[in-house]
Structure 1
């Protein structure tokens, strides 16, 4: 009841940081004594609500992250979503009232960042599997930030549009979105040899010293042969 009341208050235009115990309990039809039996204050209530949601999201992102490129390519060819993605989006929609409130304009920006941090930490190791060493380091770090922020943006836009599309439709869109290049939308794909480009950037010393675990000789040997 308190979660529903929070969602209603924020959806009505109240900023989540301005919600009071009095307003929350009145909207929920509960007493302040009931609230304080379970929570210290509003920040503690928000923290517990978000922690519960993040635990659910973390478990579902882990299933999505377990997919390898070969399976993703097969799914895209067959117009199927990435494994686990429908379950993740179905959960977001099922708990959509409070999640949408937290993700929206009056919500908690820190909550959005925490979701992205979970996604980044969960998929990072899988994305490094089989990758060319020359694109690790800063190049990979920024690429991963780009992918995670883009997917988060799609989710926020889905909520802003009122969750019109089904989780199945959104899962298909998000599965292929990371592989779309701007030129693809205009029939003019731009083919870039990313490992070679990464090597050129490193040759310009744009990123500073290499990781201690990798040196120029190792990368050039891998790239050339």
Structure 2
């Protein structure tokens, strides 16, 4: 029997996570976050924080895990869609990334984010390319394609938001038309 979580616990954790995100969006780096800053922003006390998290790293770990899981779910859903072409699939992914850009830009501070995005996109590329038989050439090919797509996406989210997701998808599609 699974235990239902108390709505007050969920609400308090959301307040703490939102406070951390607010501080990060306001320009603090992850290293500058503190329990005191988060609780002041959330209008909660430190004791409440420690009822839910062991330390600030615990809060960041949970927040990171939730954002990465949401990203994973979105890309996994796109992998399953077979009735749209690759370009439309890429546009949908870019549109999603655009809407989540504030959270993702925060995660760019963490090494694990880029690696996670790389693994998800590599899986998407390999499935879409039907790379069932893996050879040294196809391995390198998918690695290079994935690395360049991750690089383009990260550049776009950091510096190129004046360009539409359609435009970026078209440029990526043109690079890898084969």
Query: Match of 1:220?
Result: none
Deviation, 1:52, is 1.8
Give the SS at the match of 2:177. coil
Query: Match of 2:152?
Result: 154
Query: Match of 1:108?
Result: 110
Deviation, 1:58, is 1.9
1:58 aligns with 2:56: no
TM-score, normalised by the number of residues in structure 2: 0.71
1:169 aligns with 2:163: no
* CA distance in structure 2 between the aligned counterparts of 1:99 and 1:6, rounded to whole angstroms: 14
Larger radius of gyration: 1
Deviation, 1:120, is 2.1
Query: Match of 1:44?
Result: 58
Deviation, 1:153, is 1.0
Deviation, 1:164, is 2.4
- Asked if structure 2 preserves the Cα contact closer than 8 Å seen for 1:89 and 1:171, the reply is yes
* CA distance in structure 2 between the aligned counterparts of 1:164 and 1:3, rounded to whole angstroms: 29
Are the structure 2 counterparts of residues 49 and 145 from structure 1 closer, same or farther at C-alpha, using a change threshold of 3 Å?
same
- Asked if structure 2 preserves the Cα contact closer than 8 Å seen for 1:151 and 1:174, the reply is yes
Deviation, 1:20, is 1.7
* CA distance in structure 1 between the aligned counterparts of 2:93 and 2:126, rounded to whole angstroms: 18
| Structure 2 stretches lacking a partner, 5+ long | 1-14
How many equivalent pairs are there? 163
* CA distance in structure 2 between the aligned counterparts of 1:117 and 1:129, rounded to whole angstroms: 15
- Asked if structure 2 preserves the Cα contact closer than 8 Å seen for 1:100 and 1:159, the reply is yes
Query: Match of 1:86?
Result: 91
Greater helix content: 2
Deviations 1:158-184 (A, max 9, x none): 12126323333333333333339xxxx
| Structure 1 stretches lacking a partner, 5+ long | 73-81, 181-225
